[in-house]
Amino acid sequence: MAQLNVSPACAPLASRFRVAALAMAAVLCGGVFIWEAPRADAESAVAVPAPAYDAAGAPGLQSVVLAGGCFWGVQGVFQHVRGVASAVSGYSGGAKATAHYETVSTGATGHAESVKVTYDPSQISFGRLLQIYFSVVQDPTELNRQGPDVGSQYRSAIFPMNANQALVAKRYIAQLGRSGAFPRPIVTKIEPFKGFYPAEGYHQNFLATHPTYPYIVINDLPKIANLKRLFPKVYQPAPVLVGEAG
């Protein structure tokens, strides 16, 4: 596969590229400009069972940090989930000093591109958020990559913010492993929460503001369609955008 290095990755450069046809797609993420046919799994989603064990609804808003590939799509999906008060793209897993896009893109910081999801447990449970995460957001069987994006910064990881979330996540991963819902072992890790650092402004609301960007069209808009199809009761057409929540 021919590759042409460009910079920066995952940056809003849609106007600089034109795609002759989706059969030969321009994919830009991870610091590499790659010409390749769209992956068959770009539009796939897996209908997974709901968690057998879920967190009890608690008063007030709760937050969790989820990583599952390029944060544009992760944020975009959760912005369309009813009960989510905000979904902010950022970095988690590494130090504050290295929480900058160009540095994280080296794959050497310990950070994962992540999204801090703040939600109302009286409207949507933590378990349901995880069900969406495993079904629509990402492929939990891909190690240190998602689709065209390769590197530990694109790993599948959950950063619980309390012990109950950690327990729900642990039990749900075990449940999904027993269910046979996926053809390969789940590699999603539950990692200790060390902090969350919001990404640069141009990354926020990227799916909502760049719906015709080739990477979004190929990799992320199908996730929104799958959310609407598989979770119609929690899908909301208008996204909750960063800067507008609350």
Per-domain residue ranges for the chain?
A: 3-230
Select which of 26, 28, 65, 70 is catalytic.
70
Burial class (CB in 10 A: 0-12, 13-18, 19+), 132: buried
185's tokens = 């072992």
- Asked if 216 and 29 touch (Cβ cutoff 8 Å), the reply is no
Span 154-160, mean pLDDT? 98
Distance between CA atoms of residues 20 and 16, nearest Å = 13
Find how far residue 170's CA is from the centre of its chain. Answer: 19
pLDDT above 70 covers a percentage of the chain that reads 81
* Higher-pLDDT residue of 244, 239: 239
Question: Within the chain, how many helices (H) and strands (E) appear?
Answer: 7, 11
Name the pLDDT band for 69 (thresholds 50, 70, 90): very high
Residue 18 in this model has a pLDDT that exceeds 50: no
Residue 186 in this model has a pLDDT that exceeds 70: yes
Least confident of 1-5, 47-51, 158-162, 239-243: 1-5
According to the model, what pLDDT value does residue 84 have?
98
Look at residues 131, 196, 130 and name the one whose alpha carbon lies nearest to residue 161.
196
pTM for the model stands at 0.85
Q: State the DSSP H helix or E strand holding residue 127, giving kind and residue range, or none if neither.
A: helix 126-132
Q: Which CATH number fits domain 3-230: 3.40.190.10, 3.30.1060.10, 3.30.930.10, 3.40.640.10?
A: 3.30.1060.10
Known catalytic residue at 70: yes
